[in-house]
Amino acid sequence: MMTASTVSARKARPLATGTRERLILEAESLFGERGIDGVTMRMICEAADQKFAGSVQYHFGDQLGLLYAVFEYREEQLQPRREALLEEGRRTGQLDNLRFLLRIMFEPNFAMYEEQGIISYMRCHAAYLATHRPRGVEHPVDRGSPATRAMRETMTLLEKRLVALGPQLAAFRLECVGAMFLQGVTQYASGPEHSGMTPRQFFDDMLDMMTQSISVLPRAR
């Protein structure tokens, strides 16, 4: 059953141009609202106004194929901004600056919320990190998707900057601060007035917290 807020959120999204895109957008929204395991392929088809119950299987193979398509769809949209930030970093000599590298990773996502009001992708991504990433479900970055070229370049630069942690801990911490960011933006979007900050002030504050969190040296074992 759709609530008034769900209907409002659907109306706020740009109109999809085809069946495949409608399925991606509705899946993104439902995954973020209900958790990935709480959504069936039938629910996605109904939300996308598809009379054929096998639409997800026809276009994506299965539900995890659809989840992968959600990531690829959004990362293609985010990549141009990451590329522009990478170029800015090269021009200004900031590609060894940890805070700037985190900005490259996360500012495109935040801009999607700040400029377009889209929060569904970050909710979906947060659900993935909480449940499916630990199970080994792949993101396009793991398969070297062209849509993630700028992201992978930034991750390589981050790993070099965090060499003292070792590659395994650096990668794990990046996932942790990513979850911090996604949950933080979701919380902020639900009531910006409670933070006392403008969106840009909030993002800068999140960057400061993430920079400190990812770089602290581990305790001696």
Cα–Cα distance measured from residue 185 to residue 201, given in angstroms and rounded to the nearest whole number: 12
What is the reported pTM? 0.88
Cα–Cα distance measured from residue 9 to residue 89, given in angstroms and rounded to the nearest whole number: 35
Beta-carbon contacts of residue 23 (< 8 Å; ≥ 6 apart): 44, 45, 48, 50, 55, 56, 59, 60, 66
Cα–Cα distance measured from residue 141 to residue 154, given in angstroms and rounded to the nearest whole number: 11
DSSP per position, 71-130 = HHHHHHHHHHHHHHHHHHHHHHT-TT-HHHHHHHHHHHHHHHHHHH---HHHHHHHHIII
- Report domain extents, the chain: 70-215
For residue range 128-157, list pLDDT tens digits in order: 999 999 999 999 999 999 999 999 999 999
Name the token pair of 85: 């930030």
Centroid of chain to Cα 78? 10
For residue range 145-196, list pLDDT tens digits in order: 999 999 999 999 999 999 999 999 999 999 999 999 999 999 999 999 999 9
CA distances to 63, 103, 105, 162, 183 from 86, rounded to whole Å, are 33, 10, 10, 18, 25
17 — pLDDT class (breaks 50, 70, 90): low
pLDDT at 38: 96
Contact 95, 101 (CB under 8 A): yes
Average pLDDT over residues 43-54: 90
Residue type, 204: D
Residues of the chain with pLDDT > 70, as a percent, come to: 92
pLDDT at position 100 over 50: yes
